[in-house]
Structure 1
Amino acid sequence: MKAIHQAKKLVKKYRHAWVLLYILIYMPWFIHLENRRSIHYYVIHSPIDNHIPFIEYFVVPYLLWFVFIAVTMGYFFFTDKWGFYKLAAFLFTGMTVFLIICTIFPNALNLRPTVFVRDNIFVDLVKLVYRADTPTNVLPSIHVFNSIGSCIAISHSDALKKHRKIQYSAYALAFLIILSTVFLKQHSVTDVIAAVAMACIIYPFVYVTEERKAPKLSHQPI
């Protein structure tokens, strides 16, 4: 009986986990977009892209994006329920807009190098990334958008405001992640700008409006 009681208490405490079911919508939709065949793709390109060199070392922050997003989501999930809700609302709204855009406006890149000047472990990692991720469905960049969203959540956290080094470290990592998308030729500058624009549009609806409606609920701990 005690175990059942503890289980019920745990479920009640973390019932906000239901929002993570969004992955059941996102992943099948994204996989469908990635596997489409015989479709015309609009090639995304900016003249600025031609002046950005390929730098394989940026594969490190690029891959750290997965850890960054997971750790940020996990932190708010376990410590700040309403912060988690707002972060999830921000990320999942943008990810849904991304899916819609790529569905009605199939897009792709033609920026990846075919020959690598150097041969090292970082180039090998880039090759793995290229094999795992097609150069399609790139506008806007989810790497950039989710990094911005995580930084916004971190900047709004009362608890993390007491740990400025953590905040500044997160901002620095997010900046490197954003740079990595263009230096690895995974995204065009256009994709980055589109992601920033989308973040600017969604931000007021998720954070500014909600905090005006219910300021006492902001930053509510678990």
Structure 2
Amino acid sequence: MKNLFYRYRHAWVLSYAFIYLPWFLYLEKKVTNHYHIMHVAIDDYIPFNEYFIIPYFLWFFYVSAAILYFFFAGVKDYYKLCTMLFTGMTISLMVCTVFPNGTDFRPVINPDKNVFSYIVSFLYSKDTCTNVFPSIHVYNSICVHIAVSHSEKLRQNRLIQAGSFLLMVSICLATVFLKQHSAFDGLGALVMASIMYQFVYSGSYVRGRNEVSEKAIG
């Protein structure tokens, strides 16, 4: 048992959930009115499509599966992914804390239309239209695909690479076609991911992080 705990001691990183979840739930309850509306002109030209609820919910599997895979398959990649994910998620919460934001263009949903509309209706009832900028759905999806594309074990698998890319794009599109986010929220997530990429996957930071990971593996 002692060896098992030592081997998987990098699990400590996942304790971030105890920071993120209470903070996120606090914002969901606090930010209910008097928030800045996120909206750009292109939002008005994007039609609602309930079928995008499929990739939207696949996001949960996509992110968790990536973390789980790298947890066992490669500590270096695991640390990079978690660093990028959790730093961006923290920045997003900070933005929403000091700059309350949300949307106001959710359509009226007929839950009896089909099963997909029913699920969207359920989502709307449980998830508020606030705390949307930058989009965590978009940001995390980009982070996961970056991790997959940089993995030495996965980069040679064209099927996984293509599947990851298509799922990432589908999830990003789902945020706007479900009217969960403004296109501006996605743009903000893209910019944040681009900046974080420079810190996590290039330069001296990577060398330092690799040294830490190698010690953890050893």
TM-score (norm 2): 0.93
How many Å separate the matches in 1 of 2:136 and 2:212? Answer: 28
Residue 181 of structure 1 aligns with which residue? Answer: 175
Contact 2:109-2:117 at 8 Å conserved across structures: no
Deviation of residue 155 (structure 1)? 0.8
The count of aligned residue pairs is 216
Contact 2:31-2:100 at 8 Å conserved across structures: no
Please tell me whether residue 28 in structure 1 is matched to residue 22 in structure 2.
yes
Q: 1:79 to 1:116 in 2, by over 3 A?
A: same
How many Å separate the matches in 1 of 2:110 and 2:103? Answer: 18
Residue 122 of structure 1 aligns with which residue? Answer: 116
Asked which structure has the greater CA Rg, the reply is: 1
Q: 1:9 to 1:50 in 2, by over 3 A?
A: same
Structure 2 spans left out of the alignment, 5+ residues = none
Q: 1:124 to 1:115 in 2, by over 3 A?
A: closer
CA RMSD of aligned residues (A): 2.1
What amino acid does structure 2 have at the position aligned with 1:157?
S
Please tell me whether residue 203 in structure 1 is matched to residue 164 in structure 2.
no
Deviation of residue 131 (structure 1)? 1.1
Residue 44 of structure 2 aligns with which residue? Answer: 50
How many Å separate the matches in 2 of 1:221 and 1:68? Answer: 25
What is the CA deviation profile of residues 154-196 of structure 1, one whole-angstrom value per residue up to 9, with x for unaligned ones?
0110000221211110111110000000000000000000000
How many Å separate the matches in 2 of 1:22 and 1:217? Answer: 19
What amino acid does structure 2 have at the position aligned with 1:149?
C
How many Å separate the matches in 1 of 2:190 and 2:55? Answer: 18
How many Å separate the matches in 1 of 2:214 and 2:88? Answer: 22
Residue 158 of structure 1 aligns with which residue? Answer: 152
Structure 1 spans left out of the alignment, 5+ residues = 1-6
Percent identity for Structure 1 against Structure 2: 48
Residue 3 of structure 1 aligns with which residue? Answer: none
How many Å separate the matches in 2 of 1:211 and 1:201? Answer: 14
